[in-house]
Amino acid sequence: MTARWIVGVGVAVAMGGCGNEPGAGTDSGGGGDTGGTGGAFDPLYSDYFQTCRSCHMPGAWGTHTGIERTLDFSTVETAYQTLTTGTASGLVGNDAACNGVRLVGSSYETSLVAAVLDENVHAAFNDPDHPGCDADAIPDMTVKVGFPPSGAFLQALRDWIDAGAPR
C-alpha cells in the first residue's frame, strides 16, 4: 500500500514538471516582437529572413563596407518596414547600379529581394530605370546565409509579394 502511494506521487510530480517546461523553452525565436501580430509576413521572417540579420542590421554594418544598408532584419517589424518601403542603398562597385531599386517591387520578378534568393528571378532581372542592375551586378545571398531557402519559402514569398506585401 505504502509503496503504491509513493509511486503515485512520483508520477504526479513528474507530469507537473513536464507541463511547465516546454512552454518556457520555446520562446527563443520571439526576439523583440513578443506576441507578434500573427501577420502574413511573420512566417517568412521566422522561416528564413531572420538569418539575414547576421549582416543586415545596424550593429553589423560596420564590418561590411559596401553592404546593402537599407535592410534591417533586427526584428520582424524592422524587416517588414525596410523591405516594403525601402530601396537599396550603400552598394559600391558593380553592385552600385542597384542603389535605388525597390527591395519589394510591384511583382515578384521586379523585387530585388527575390533576385538575391531565386535564381530564375536573378537571371532575368531587368529594371528599366536601373539598367546596370542585372544578373552580373546582383549577388546571391543564399551563399552568404550558408543554405538556400526551401521551394516552399520562395513560393510563399512570391504569394506574399503578389498579394501586395501585407503585414
Nearer to ligand HEC, 121 or 141 (CB): 141
Task: Give me the sign of the Cα torsion angle 131, 132, 135, 138.
Answer: negative
Q: Which of 33, 147, 145 is nearest to 80 (CA)?
A: 33
Task: Give me the sign of the Cα torsion angle 158, 85, 60, 43.
Answer: negative
Q: Which stretch binds ligand HEC (CB under 6 A): 10-18, 34-42, 46-54, 154-162?
A: 46-54
What does the per-residue mask of binding to ligand HEC show for 121-140, with x meaning CB under 6 A? ----------------xxx-
Tell me which of 44, 76, 104, 112 binds ligand HEC, using CB under 6 A: 112
- The footprint of ligand HEC on this chain (CB under 6 A) covers a number of residues equal to 25
Task: Give me the sign of the Cα torsion angle 89, 91, 96, 98.
Answer: negative
67 contacts ligand HEC (rule: CB under 6 A): yes
- Measured at the CA of 103, the angle between CA 100 and CA 69, to 5 degrees, comes to 65
Tell me which of 16, 66, 132, 166 binds ligand HEC, using CB under 6 A: 66
88 contacts ligand HEC (rule: CB under 6 A): yes
Q: Which stretch binds ligand HEC (CB under 6 A): 3-11, 22-30, 39-47, 54-62?
A: 54-62
Nearer to ligand HEC, 40 or 135 (CB): 135
Question: If phi over 0 gives left and psi between -120 and 50 gives alpha, with beta otherwise, what is residue 35?
Answer: left
* Residue 42 near residue 61, CB atoms below 8 Å: no
First to last CA, the chain: 61
Q: Which stretches of the chain bind ligand HEC, using CB under 6 A?
A: 48, 51-52, 54-56, 64, 66-68, 71, 88, 91, 95, 98, 103, 112-113, 116, 137-139, 141, 144-145
